[in-house]
Structure 1
Amino acid sequence: MCTVSYIPLESGFVLTSNRDENPFRDTLEPFEYQLNDKIVTFPKDKIAGGTWIAHDQKGRTACLLNGGFIKHKRKTAYKRSRGFVVLDVYNYDTNLEFIMCVNLNGFEPFTFVLVEPGIRMQLISFVWDGKRKYARLLNSDQPYLWSSSTLYNQDVHDDRVKAFMKWIEVNSQITPHSILDYHKDNYNIKIGELIGNEGVETVSITQITRIHEITKTVYH
């Protein structure tokens, strides 16, 4: 939920997420859950019960990063965990309906990456800054990288984007496995490496791959 990449494929997409969290925060591995009329696959946070990444049987994917555009000052209490908002996506039939209708008052700021397969892939960056919603339709034929604003400032993020785009440029054969390796080699954070967040480390990497209308989850 702290570093997320999206890379289009000829017949789908790959979305990969590094979760940087307290290593003592337990998580259940991805499992299929019935949410209303949908089967949704996601890893579950054992403490809060929500998640940071999920997809349904049609490949509709939601991924959470903590923080909005800039690092915010945390309040002592919030309405409920942002991880439940990821699951709220599947209370609606489309991502656009979710964005327009969901009530986010009382939630801590976050950024969502939303992917919806169809005749043309729909990719949306959706930010809640604690007061307003901001949705941006992105070019689903282009790669993107996001970094959590609560852990990485803009300069660090810009450097990461440049390195990520350079890696794509010099590698003609990009595969889900090579993307996973890139995340392991470049975005794995160890305890004490993040100033001001010394108790945080990369606890898992989750990858959702949609190829030829088949969606798979890999969890490390």
Structure 2
Amino acid sequence: MCTVTYIPTENGIFITSNRDEKINRKPASFPVTEKLGESVLLFPQDGQAGGSWIALKNNGDTGVLLNGGYVSHTPTPPYRKSRGLIFLSILHEYSPIEKFKNIDLIDIEPFTLILFENKNLFECRWDGTNRHVLRLNQNKEYIWSSATLYSKEISGKRSDRFKNWRSHTTIDIESILAFHEFRDDNSNIDDICLDQGLLKTVSVTSITIGTRGAEMTYKDMLPDVKKRKTSSISFDTKTQLL
């Protein structure tokens, strides 16, 4: 929920998320599929609240959730519903961006939602009072860091690290996972893979979107459960994403 990259290439689009969470939270399950009407979602499921932070739909729509809006906020629970469940209900819709614009977000904790829908890329934010939608250039690459964990200064340093890595790297799933798993010996807060005692990067999830289908790779990062799994979705032949 805390570090997301979007990288378009000639061979496909890569959307990758680090989940930075307390290590005593119940582990997520993967793969999980959920059908609602014609919509089928593939995602890792949070073991505690039942929602998710990244999901892929069978038409190629993809979404990633980050905690917080523009700035760090002080939580004021109880909230009406978890952000992870709100996220899944948005992505299940025929048009997730329209659902975000109209869904009831009163008493929902602030969040940022990155949506790739029908070849379009959107940055959606709920700051606890208002919602904001920014359409982005889907042909450019981006990195986002959660507002609840990273200051603007630290986010800037991580952005510089991303740009430097990108300029010297051939992009494929292995190089992207290596970037998202980067941690130096000093365990700095601007490391891409977080290690701050009880708060760590507990998993890395990457989606590769091609012309006929997409693949989701999920990697547990905790030593006692460290493993890597991959699951895929094939698109209808009418779906043209790239």
TM-score for both structures, normalised by structure 2: 0.83
Structure 1 counterpart of 2:13, which letter?
Answer: F
1:205 aligns with 2:221: no
1:129 aligns with 2:134: no
Distance 2:88 2:65 in 1: 11
Corresponding residue pairs, total: 210
Per-residue deviation, 1:88: 1.1
Equivalent in the alignment of 1:141 = 139
Equivalent in the alignment of 2:189 = none
Structure 2 counterpart of 1:27, which letter?
Answer: A
Distance 1:30 1:9 in 2: 26
Equivalent in the alignment of 1:16 = 16
CA contact (8 A) 1:42 1:54 kept: yes
Distance 2:178 2:22 in 1: 22
Percent identity over the alignment?
A: 37
CA contact (8 A) 2:4 2:145 kept: yes
CA contact (8 A) 2:63 2:114 kept: yes
Equivalent in the alignment of 1:46 = 47
Greater relative contact order (CA < 8 Å, ≥ 6 in sequence): 1
Equivalent in the alignment of 1:165 = 163
CA contact (8 A) 1:62 1:89 kept: no
Equivalent in the alignment of 1:185 = 182
Moved more, 44-53 or 162-171: 162-171
CA contact (8 A) 2:97 2:115 kept: no
Runs (4 or more) in structure 1 with deviation over 2 Å come to: none
CA contact (8 A) 2:40 2:92 kept: no
Equivalent in the alignment of 1:5 = 5
TM-score for both structures, normalised by structure 1: 0.91
Q: Which runs of 5+ in 2 are unaligned?
A: 184-191, 220-242
Per-residue deviation, 1:100: 2.1
Post-superposition CA distance 1:123-177 (Å, at most 9, x none): 0000000000000000000000000011100000011111101111122x21122
Per-residue deviation, 1:62: 0.9
Q: Which runs of 5+ in 1 are unaligned?
A: 193-198
Distance 1:180 1:212 in 2: 22
Per-residue deviation, 1:116: 1.5
Give the secondary-structure state (helix, strand or coil) at the position aligned to 2:181: helix
Structure 2 counterpart of 1:33, which letter?
Answer: E
